């Protein structure tokens, strides 16, 4: 009997999680609940502590992966996102996480032990602690070796978010559906390239106060210039929101000002008006070899 798409997608995630759990964490990490969900153009993955419980009271963490990036990034980089989130679970279970969504020094040390170097920019020299962190792969490190072993065994992700998959030649597009985004060819150097930068909308749902917040990781933190809204008519105001998952900070101001979230110290981004459905805005993001890390995250 042929396997279903659900079985294929989630079995692959579970297989990778178990492999890295044995190779990098001595099998100490608990099993978790996987979900595939696009939480926004800047989020690669999140961990939500104690999000699920069964009928007898067993609690487990939720690990979410953005399916839009399973195809637009190379497999080694996607697997590093999974391990990035596993390090969060390791800290939840055996360490001392600090305030909501903050990547502290203890987390950074755990990342280095598995061969992922924390960096806010995804490149050497970036800040090693803070909100919405990234990382780069240490060549020859524990993760690099373990991931190469898994890939050599024939491991692959077979299901992706449709709007992120380059269309096959001659494949008809479903009537009324969004046009697939053409990722184009990667440069000879393997350095990630961005075809179009998406706008960021405010979160539409906020976790209840009694639920622990998600730990979100981003692809490329927005620069101050990118947080400015398009110019508006005199006398009108633009809505701004914090891009941090679960944060409810919003503000209305002139489109020409630059604002910061007081809680997370990150630039507020403009919430653009909803328009008719068009071709989706996604980031075409590949990664460099581990010897020349690319900008990416977790």
E runs forming strands in 142-261: 215-218, 238-241, 250-253
For the segment 148-163, what is each residue's pLDDT rounded down to a tens digit? 999 999 999 999 888 7
For 153, other C-beta atoms within 10 Å of its C-beta total 10
Q: What is the mean pLDDT of residues 180-204?
A: 28
pLDDT of 220 strictly over 50 = no
Tell me how far apart the alpha carbons of residues 269 and 174 are, in angstroms, rounded to a whole number: 33
- Which comes out higher in pLDDT, residue 216 or 189? 216
Q: What is the pTM of this model?
A: 0.61
pLDDT at 94: 95
pLDDT of 120 strictly over 80 = yes
- Which comes out higher in pLDDT, residue 251 or 108? 108
Percent residues over pLDDT 70 in the chain: 66
Q: DSSP letter at 190?
A: -
Q: How far is residue 77 from each of residues 29, 46, 60, 72, 121, measured CA to CA in Å?
A: 21, 16, 26, 10, 15
- Residue 51 tokens read as 């999000």
pLDDT band at 173 (very low <50, low <70, confident <90, very high): very low
């Amino acid at each position: 009997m042929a396997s279903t798409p659900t079985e294929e997608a989630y079995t692959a995630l579970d297989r990778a999680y178990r492999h890295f759990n044995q190779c990098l964490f001595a099998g100490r990490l608990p099993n978790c609940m996987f979900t595939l969900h696009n939480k926004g153009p800047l989020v690669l993955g999140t961990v939500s502590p104690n999000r699920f419980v069964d009928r007898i009271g067993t609690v487990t963490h939720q690990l979410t992966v953005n399916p839009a990036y399973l195809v637009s990034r190379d497999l080694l980089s996607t697997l590093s996102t999974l391990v990035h989130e596993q390090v969060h679970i390791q800290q939840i279970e055996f360490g001392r996480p600090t305030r909501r969504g903050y990547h502290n020094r203890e987390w950074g040390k755990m990342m280095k032990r598995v061969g992922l170097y924390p960096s806010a920019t995804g490149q050497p020299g970036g800040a090693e602690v803070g909100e919405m962190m990234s990382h780069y792969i240490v060549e020859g490190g524990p993760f690099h070796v373990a991931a190469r072993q898994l890939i050599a065994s024939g491991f692959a992700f077979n299901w992706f978010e449709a709007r992120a998959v380059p269309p096959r030649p001659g494949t008809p597009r479903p009537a009324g559906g969004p046009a697939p985004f053409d990722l184009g060819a990667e440069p000879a150097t393997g350095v990630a390239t961005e075809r179009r930068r998406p706008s960021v909308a405010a979160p539409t749902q906020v976790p209840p106060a009694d639920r622990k917040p998600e730990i979100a990781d981003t692809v490329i933190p927005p620069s101050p210039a990118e947080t400015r809204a398009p110019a508006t008519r005199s006398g009108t105001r633009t809505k701004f929101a914090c891009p941090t998952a679960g944060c409810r900070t919003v503000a209305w101001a002139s489109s020409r000002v630059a604002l910061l979230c007081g809680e997370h110290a990150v630039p507020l981004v403009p919430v653009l008006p909803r328009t008719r459905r068009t071709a989706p805005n996604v980031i075409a993001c590949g990664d460099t070899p581990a010897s020349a890390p690319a900008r990416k995250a977790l």
